[in-house]
C-alpha cells in the first residue's frame, strides 16, 4: 500500500525554504527603499545647490551695490528647517538672530524648490556653494548630499563633513 501526501518533515523543509526566501526578498526590498529615498534626497540636494549658488550670486551683486557684508565676512553655513532659516556655525549653533538678509537668502533658495525640505548649505567666502545636505524634515534619518562622489570600493559618500555631532541646534544633519 502506497502512502499519498507529504510527511511532516517534508512540510517543515518546504516551509523553511519559503521562510528563507521571503526573508531575503524583504531584506532586498528594504535596501532598495533606503537607496531610493537617499537618491531622491541627493537629487533635491543638487537642486538646492544650484538654487543656493544663484542666491549667493544675487547676494554678491547686492552687497557690491549696497556695501553690506552678509556673506563677505567669511564662509558660513545656512540652515533651513522647512519653515525658517539662518546662519549657523560649524557646530550647528545659530549665529545671531533671524534678520531680513536671512529671510531674503532663504526665500531666494526656496522659490526654486517644489516642496518644503530641510537643508544646510556651506558657502565659502568667495560666494561659491561648496556642499549641501538635505532631508525631508529636521528629524529624518535619510540624508541626501551634493556633491556626492564614489570611493575606490564604489561606496557613496559626500564631502559635506564639516558638521559633526555636537549639542547644537542642527545636529540632525550629522553626516
**pLDDT score at 62:** 72
Higher pLDDT, 69 or 85: 85
**% of the chain beyond a pLDDT of 70:** 70
Cell of 112: 526654486
Instruction: Give the start-to-end residue ranges of the domains of the chain.
Output: 10-173
Helix (H, G, I), strand (E, B), or coil: what is residue 118? strand
**pLDDT score at 95:** 72
**Residues 22-79 pLDDT 10s:** 999 999 999 899 889 888 888 999 999 999 999 888 877 777 776 665 655 567 888 8
pTM: 0.69
Identify how many contiguous H helices and E strands the chain contains and give both numbers.
2, 7
Does the N-terminal peptide bond of residue 34 adopt cis geometry, omega within 30 degrees of 0?
Answer: no
**pLDDT score at 16:** 96
**pLDDT score at 1:** 61
Amino acid at each position: 500500500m502506497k502512502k499519498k501526501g507529504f510527511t511532516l518533515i517534508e512540510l517543515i523543509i518546504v516551509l523553511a525554504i519559503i521562510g528563507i526566501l521571503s526573508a531575503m526578498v524583504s531584506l532586498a526590498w528594504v535596501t532598495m527603499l533606503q537607496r531610493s529615498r537617499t537618491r531622491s534626497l541627493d537629487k533635491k540636494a543638487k537642486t538646492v545647490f544650484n538654487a543656493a549658488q544663484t542666491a549667493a550670486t544675487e547676494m554678491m551683486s547686492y552687497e557690491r551695490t549696497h556695501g553690506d557684508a552678509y556673506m563677505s565676512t567669511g564662509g558660513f553655513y545656512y540652515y533651513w528647517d522647512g519653515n525658517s532659516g539662518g546662519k549657523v556655525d560649524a557646530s550647528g549653533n545659530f549665529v545671531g538672530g533671524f534678520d531680513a538678509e536671512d529671510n531674503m537668502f532663504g526665500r531666494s533658495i526656496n522659490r526654486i524648490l517644489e516642496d518644503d525640505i530641510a537643508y544646510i548649505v556651506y558657502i565659502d567666502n568667495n560666494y561659491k556653494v561648496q556642499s549641501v545636505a538635505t532631508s525631508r524634515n529636521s528629524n529624518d534619518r535619510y540624508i541626501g548630499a551634493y556633491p556626492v562622489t564614489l570611493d575606490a570600493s564604489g561606496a557613496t559618500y559626500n564631502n559635506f563633513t564639516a558638521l559633526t555631532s555636537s549639542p547644537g541646534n542642527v545636529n540632525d544633519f550629522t553626516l
